[in-house]
Structure 1
């Protein structure tokens, strides 16, 4: 298949290359949607001081993640690009990408509006809690208390995979899922399955994924050129 003109072909190619994009529906403007209400902390929940997961913990996380991906809202993860998109492609069939947003899009999705017309574009959007679940985030007690918050126990967040911000600001993120990304992903997955990987804090993820700063600069330059090209075509 080529890159068009069939929109389905374009969608499939973007998915195969791990590019972040959206497949929206066009409808009346409507009110700004609100994110779904989530009770308390999402992710994989709280763990006690000194918690060190084993392979069964990772497998339990994979099961929860799979259930989410196979839910109506799981489709949105396909279009996220980066690590979210890579994990989604393990479970979500690409044919679901062409089905359009879920029935909740007008109440919990994202509205893309130019600020002038009576119509807008709508698509599903992942919540922070859903992203925490996908990336396998735990909140672990540190054994210390925060004296500024009525001696509330302190916790730290660690995860199996980096969250989008940590991945997005790294040298691995060049706008698509490159062979370098896949090599890193397979190395990390193998280490987890072998029991040699540890849970990592988000600040540590940023250091681990630093790689070459130059690759990120190239990606930003490419994104700028692409935006200029699209704007020129739209204004023809």
Structure 2
């Protein structure tokens, strides 16, 4: 992640540098975790990571990744091995989204800008996240990509991304309602089965 001074402008060359870093990361064994993540992370990885790589076993070289319940997420493994589920770290996610730390010009105040929506903006229920990559997502991705390559688009601040991916109110309400119903169903039947 680069740190930029206030007033520094972005060019298509900056996007090319970001793309080289992204592809290099995705070609590493950690690319598997990006492909399995879904959303934009999946979209970035699907161009570089093979399905065969995704089907490989979890990493043995990774330190434990802590799940929300603060326990390591482990996968079944043969005796003498401990496999940890391949999940991306926060830094890796920021790298994949093309995030920069930018000084605002107000003392030490900074803002995060990225070429693509931060996962915090896209992954929560909103008007553009339908928990799968849709033709609308692909059209928006391709449209922005062409504009970036033509120098018409630059990295956006996180706040702007949150506003852009919010979508219309009815779609947000629908998504939020589905999330609540699914959660309610799963918690109601987790103990006794169906």
Looking at structure 1, the residues matched to 109 and 135 of structure 2 have their Cα atoms a distance apart, in angstroms, of 39
Paired residue secondary structure (1:143): coil
Looking at structure 1, the residues matched to 66 and 50 of structure 2 have their Cα atoms a distance apart, in angstroms, of 22
Aligned residues between the structures: 181
CA contact (8 A) 2:104 2:110 kept: yes
The answer as to 2:114 corresponding to 1:159 is: yes
Q: In the alignment, which residue of structure 1 is the partner of 2:165?
A: 209
Looking at structure 1, the residues matched to 143 and 91 of structure 2 have their Cα atoms a distance apart, in angstroms, of 26
Q: Once superposed, which parts of structure 1, at least 4 consecutive aligned residues long, lie more than 4 Å away? A: 110-113, 220-227, 229-232
Q: In the alignment, which residue of structure 1 is the partner of 2:30?
A: 73
Q: CA deviation at 1:212?
A: 1.8
In structure 1, stretches of 5+ residues that fail to align are 1-43, 146-152
Q: In the alignment, which residue of structure 1 is the partner of 2:98?
A: 136
Deviates more, 1:64-73 or 1:211-220: 211-220
Paired residue secondary structure (2:100): strand
The answer as to 2:153 corresponding to 1:197 is: yes
User: TM-score under structure 1 normalisation?
Assistant: 0.68
Looking at structure 2, the residues matched to 88 and 66 of structure 1 have their Cα atoms a distance apart, in angstroms, of 8
The answer as to 2:190 corresponding to 1:235 is: no
| Mapping of residues 115-130 of structure 1, within 5 Å | 120-121=74-75, 122-130=84-92
User: TM-score under structure 2 normalisation?
Assistant: 0.81
Paired residue secondary structure (1:72): coil
Looking at structure 2, the residues matched to 102 and 222 of structure 1 have their Cα atoms a distance apart, in angstroms, of 34
More strand by share: 1
Paired residue secondary structure (1:217): helix
